[in-house]
Structures are given as structure tokens and as C-alpha cells.
Amino acid sequence: MRVLAVDPGLTRCGVGIVDALGNTKLTLVDHAIIQTNPDLNLELRLLDLEKNLQNLFTKFKPDVIAVERVFSQLNVRTAMSTAQAGGVALLLAAKSNIPVVMHTPSEVKAAVTGSGRADKKQVANMVKKILKLEQIPKPVDVTDALALAICHHWRGGAQTRIELAARKQKRKL
């Protein structure tokens, strides 16, 4: 199963693609950072994000899209732009008929490190270890997206496989 995970952001949107071989072996397929120009109007930035995400969806053909759920942020402006970027990913997944899952940051931290209160450095070190990477991917938005993909493989993978099988069965009918 292939998970394309999106750590939404309007200035920097992290994307991580991770495959699962069996139930435990995870492999890094690719990662990317999508940046939009802060000098552009909001609608043009969202359009740029949409084009870049669509290219990744087309290139990597994921089985599921995992998006980090905007849980709470003290800065309303940041929360709004994060939610708008996440909405672009959700809309594209729906248009592409790809199942979507959302995980909170604390769920991701708990799945990857064992603690929902882990800091970014702990998460990054575990991503490196789990995916058997030589170095921690940069910037942090990419590491967060890869952690999100790992989380979904470990916490939501079984449910996704059931949903995918049901979709295939419906197509046969």
C-alpha cells in the first residue's frame, strides 16, 4: 500500500510518499516540499499548491492520502492558511477518488515515537530510523509528512486496505 502524506502549509507544504511491504517493512518512495510565493494573492497560491499536489498524485499513484488535521494553533492566521492548504489536498483526493485519512499531530507523534508529546527532533530521529535513512530529511515539513505516512501505515493501514478492497468490489459489480 502506498501512502502519500501531506503536512499542509501555504508557504511550505511537506509531502512524503511511503510504501508498506507486508505489515511492518516501510520504504521511502520520495518526498517533496511545495513552496508558494507569499507575494501572490491567496487564490493564486492555492492554485499553485493544487497544481503541484496534482502532479505528485499523478506521478506516484497513492492508494491513500494522509493529511495532518489542524488541531489547534494559537496563531489564527497560521491555522487558517494550514487549513486552506489541507483543504486543497482533500479536494484533490476526492476528485481523484483516493481515500483520505486525517491524523492529529499528537497521534503522529505517538505512533512514531511512542509519546504524543515528543518534540520535532525525536520525531525526526525516529523517521530516520524507521525508514532506514542515512540522514534526516529537510526541511522539517518533509519529516513531518513522512511521520504522518508512517503513522497511517501503522495505525490506519488495515482500515484503508478494507476500504480499497470494498472499492474494487464495487467496480466489479
Q: Which of 63, 68, 107, 144 is catalytic?
A: 68
d(CA 124, CA 143): 6
Return the number of other C-beta atoms located less than 10 Å from residue 86's C-beta: 21
Contact (Cβ atoms closer than 8 angstroms) between residue 30 and residue 18: no
State how far the alpha carbon of 53 is from the alpha carbons of 25, 101, 124, 162, in Å: 26, 16, 23, 25
Q: Is 63 a catalytic residue?
A: no
Furthest CA-CA distance within the chain: 50
48 part of the active site: no
Is 68 noted as a catalytic residue in this protein? yes
β-bridge partners, 15: 6, 32
Active-site residue, selected from the candidate residues 7, 63, 107, 144: 7
Radius of gyration of the chain (CA): 16
User: Omega into 139 within 30° of 0, i.e. cis?
Assistant: yes
Q: 63, 107, 141, 144: which is the annotated catalytic residue?
A: 141
What residues are labeled active site? 7, 68, 141
